Structure 1
Amino acid sequence: MHRILFRWLLGAIPVVFGVSVLTFVLTSLVPGDPGRTILGANASPAQVKALDAQLGLDHPLPVRYWDWLTAALQGNLGDSMTSGVPVSDQLGSRLGVTLSLIGGAILVAAVAGVALGVLSALKGGRLGRAVDGISLIGLAVPNFWFGLVLMSVLAVQLPVFPVSGYVPFTDSPIQWFQSLVLPVLTLGVPATAPVAKQTRDGVLTQLDREYVRVLRARGIPERSVLFRHVLRNAAAPIVTVLGVVVVTLFGGTVLAETLFVMPGLGGLAVTAAQTQDIPMVQGVALVFTVTVMLINLLIEVVYTMLNPKVRT
C-alpha cells in the first residue's frame, strides 16, 4: 500500500503542476480583456487599466502564475474576478452537485453494464450481438443529444421529472433524487456500453478456463461458480474500464450541468471561461485534476486487491 501511495504521489505532483501551468497559459491567451469584460463596453480605457492593475493583470505571466501558485500552496485560490467571492467557497458549494452526478452515473454504468455483460456472456446468441450493438451505439451517441431526448420524453411529453434545476438533499431528499435522475441517466447510460462489453469479454474468457470445468465437475452450484469465481477473476479489467469511464464523466458533467441548469463545477467552469475569470477557471481545473487523480488511486488500490499478481 505504501508503495502504491508513493508511486501515485510521484505521478500526481507533476500532473497537477502541468495542468495548472497549461490552464493558466491558455486562459491568459484567450482574446479579450478581463477588465473590459467585467466593466462592460462603456468603461473608459483608464477604468479598465485601473481594474487590470487592481487584479494584478498588468504583471508578466510568469509573475502572475508564481503569485497564484504560492497562494494555492497555502490553501488560498484567490477571489473571483467577477463576484469577488473566494474561489474555494464557490468550489465547495458546487462540488457536491458534481460528485452526486458522477456517483450516480458510475452506479448506473456499473450495475447495468455488469448485468448486461453477464447476461450476454451466459445467453450468447442474439443477446450477445445486441450488447455489442448497444456498446457501439453508446460509444457513438453524444451525451448532449441523449440528454435532449430524455428531457423531451420524460420531462416534457411525460412530465415525470423536472426539466432543469437542482434541489439540495437537505431541502427534500425526494426532490433531490428527482432532480438528479435525468442528468445521471444522460451520463450513465452511454457509459454502460464499455462496461458491458468488457464484462462480457471477461466472463467469456473465464468461462473457458479449466478451473470452471473442475468446479462444475465437483457439483458446485452454477450461481456460486459465476459470482464467487468467474466474476471475481474477471473484475480487475472491469475496474480498469470503470476508471476510464470516471475520467470521461468529468468532461460530460460540463454538458449535463449546462443542459439541465445545475449548479455544479461544470456549469461554473463554462461561466468562468465566458467571463475570463482566471482564478475560477484555475480553481475548477485544479479540483477536477486532483479528484481524477484520487479516483485513479482508488482504482489502483482496488485493482491490486483483485489481482494478486500485482501485489507480488
Structure 2
Amino acid sequence: MTTFVLRRLAAGIFLLLVISFLTFALLSVPHTDVGRALLGQNASQAAVDARNASLGLDRPMLAQYADWLSHAVRGDLGRSWFTGEDVWSALATRLPVTLSIVVGVTLVTAVLSLLLGVWAAVRGGVVDRLVQVLSVIGYALPGFLVTLVLVLVFAVQLRWFPAIGYIPFTQSPSGWLSTVTLPIAALSVGAVAGVAQQVRGSVADVLERDFVRTLRARGLPPGRILFRHVVRNASAPALTVLGLQFVGLLGGAVLVEQIFGLPGIGSMTVQYTTRGDIPVIMGLVMVSVVGVVVVNLVVDVLVGVPNPKARVA
C-alpha cells in the first residue's frame, strides 16, 4: 500500500507541474496590457512599459515561469498585481466558503445516493423504475434553473433562507447553515442523480454474483449480506464517480456563488481572470489541482484497501 500511495503522489506532483506550466503559458499569451490596466488609459506608454517591466512581463515566458515556480515551491504565491493583497491571504479568506459548499454537497450526495441506489437495486420493479426516472430528471434539469427556483421559492417567497450572503461558521453556526443550505441543495440535485444511478447499477450487478447466492444459501441475514459484502464490493465504481463529482463541483460552484453572492473562489476566479491577474489565477489553479490530486488519492486508497487488485494499476 505504501508503494501504491507513493506512486499516486508522484503522479500528482507531475500533474501539478504540467498544469502549472500549461496555465502559465496560456496566461502569458498577450491578450491584455496589464500595465495599461493598472495605470489607466491616460498613462504614457513609457510609464506603462516601466510598470510591465517591474512586474517582469518584459522577460521570456520560461524565465517568468521559473521565477514563479521557485517561489511557489517555497510557499510564496506572490501578490495580486491589482490589489497588492497576498495571494495566500486572499485564498485563505475565500477557500472556506467554497469548501463549505463542495464538502456539503459531497456528503449529501454520498448519503442520498447510497440510500436511493441500494433501495432501487434491492427492491427492483416499480421502485427501481421510479428511482431511475427521478435520476434522469435530476440529471437533465439545468443547474441554473434549479438554483433560481430554489431562490424564488425558499428565499424570496417563503423567506426560510437568505437569498444572498455568507456567514462564517465561527461567527454563527446557525447563520452559516442558513447561508449554505440552498447552494448545497442546488448542486446536490444533479450530483445525487448521477451517483445514485452508478450505485444502483453496481449493487444490482453484485447481487447477481455467485458468492452472494452462496452467502444466502449459508443462511446469513440479508442485512449482513447487503451491507457487509454487497455494498463493499460495489463501492469502487460509486467512489470513483463521487470523486469525479467532487472535482466537477469545484467548477460548478462558480455559477452558484455568483447567484447567491458567496465570496468563494468561484467568484474570485471570474473577477481576477477578467483582469489578467496572473499571480492570483495561478494560486487558484494550484489550489484546485491540489484538491483534485488529494481527492483522487483518497478515492484510490479507499478503493485499494478492500481490493488489492486495484493497487496494481
| TM-score bin, normalised by smaller chain | over 0.9
Moved more, 302-311 or 279-288: 302-311
Q: Distance in 2 between matches of 1:146 and 1:211?
A: 42
Distance apart, 1:16 and its partner CA:
0.8
Distance apart, 1:210 and its partner CA:
2.6
Distance apart, 1:175 and its partner CA:
0.4
- AA aligned to 2:258 is T
Per-residue CA deviation, residues 63-89 of structure 1 (Å, 9 max, x unaligned), is 211111111111111100111011111
Q: Distance in 2 between matches of 1:89 and 1:188?
A: 29
State whether structure 2 residue 58 is matched by structure 1 residue 58: yes
- Structure 1 pair 311/63, CA: closer, same or farther in 2 (3 Å)? closer
State whether structure 2 residue 25 is matched by structure 1 residue 22: no
Per-residue CA deviation, residues 113-162 of structure 1 (Å, 9 max, x unaligned), is 11111111122223222322233333333322321221121111221111
Q: CA-atom RMSD, angstroms?
A: 1.7
Distance apart, 1:166 and its partner CA:
0.8
- Structure 1 pair 43/138, CA: closer, same or farther in 2 (3 Å)? farther
Query: Equivalent residue for 1:138?
Result: 138
Query: Equivalent residue for 2:221?
Result: 221
- AA aligned to 2:14 is P
- Structure 1 pair 168/278, CA: closer, same or farther in 2 (3 Å)? same
Distance apart, 1:42 and its partner CA:
3.3
Runs of 4+ in 1 over 6 A off after TM superposition: none
SS in structure 1 at match of 2:85: coil
Moved more, 95-104 or 282-291: 95-104
Query: Equivalent residue for 1:273?
Result: 273
Per-residue CA deviation, residues 246-292 of structure 1 (Å, 9 max, x unaligned), is 11111112222222111111111111101111100000001100111
SS in structure 2 at match of 1:29: coil
Alignment of 1:148-167 (within 5 A): 148-167=148-167
Residues 113 and 193 of structure 2 are in contact (CA less than 8 Å); yes or no, is this contact kept in structure 1? yes
Q: Distance in 1 between matches of 2:222 and 2:119?
A: 14
Residues 108 and 189 of structure 1 are in contact (CA less than 8 Å); yes or no, is this contact kept in structure 2? no
Distance apart, 1:295 and its partner CA:
0.9
- AA aligned to 1:98 is T
Per-residue CA deviation, residues 206-244 of structure 1 (Å, 9 max, x unaligned), is 222233333333333222222122111211221111111
- AA aligned to 1:10 is A
Q: Distance in 2 between matches of 1:308 and 1:73?
A: 34
Per-residue CA deviation, residues 185-224 of structure 1 (Å, 9 max, x unaligned), is 1222211112111111111112222333333333332222
Query: Equivalent residue for 2:211?
Result: 211
Residues 4 and 311 of structure 2 are in contact (CA less than 8 Å); yes or no, is this contact kept in structure 1? no
Q: Distance in 2 between matches of 1:144 and 1:49?
A: 43
Residues 163 and 260 of structure 1 are in contact (CA less than 8 Å); yes or no, is this contact kept in structure 2? yes
SS in structure 1 at match of 2:262: coil
SS in structure 1 at match of 2:305: helix
Q: Distance in 1 between matches of 2:259 and 2:36?
A: 28
Unaligned 5+ residue runs, structure 1?
Answer: none
Alignment of 1:285-304 (within 5 A): 285-304=285-304
Query: Equivalent residue for 2:179?
Result: 179
Query: Equivalent residue for 2:83?
Result: 83
Distance apart, 1:11 and its partner CA:
1.2
- Structure 1 pair 196/54, CA: closer, same or farther in 2 (3 Å)? same
Alignment of 1:240-279 (within 5 A): 240-279=240-279
Unaligned 5+ residue runs, structure 2?
Answer: none
State whether structure 2 residue 112 is matched by structure 1 residue 112: yes
Residues 167 and 175 of structure 2 are in contact (CA less than 8 Å); yes or no, is this contact kept in structure 1? yes
Q: Distance in 1 between matches of 2:122 and 2:279?
A: 52
- AA aligned to 1:260 is F
Distance apart, 1:26 and its partner CA:
1.8
Distance apart, 1:311 and its partner CA:
5.0
Identity of aligned residues (%): 46
Query: Equivalent residue for 2:238?
Result: 238
Residues 80 and 280 of structure 1 are in contact (CA less than 8 Å); yes or no, is this contact kept in structure 2? yes
- AA aligned to 2:253 is T
TM-score using structure 1 length: 0.94
Q: Distance in 2 between matches of 1:39 and 1:228?
A: 65
Query: Equivalent residue for 2:129?
Result: 129
Q: Distance in 1 between matches of 2:12 and 2:60?
A: 28
Distance apart, 1:30 and its partner CA:
5.6
- Structure 1 pair 158/231, CA: closer, same or farther in 2 (3 Å)? same
- Structure 1 pair 59/309, CA: closer, same or farther in 2 (3 Å)? closer
Residues 9 and 297 of structure 2 are in contact (CA less than 8 Å); yes or no, is this contact kept in structure 1? no
Task: Tell me the number of residue pairs that the alignment of Structure 1 and Structure 2 aligns.
Answer: 312
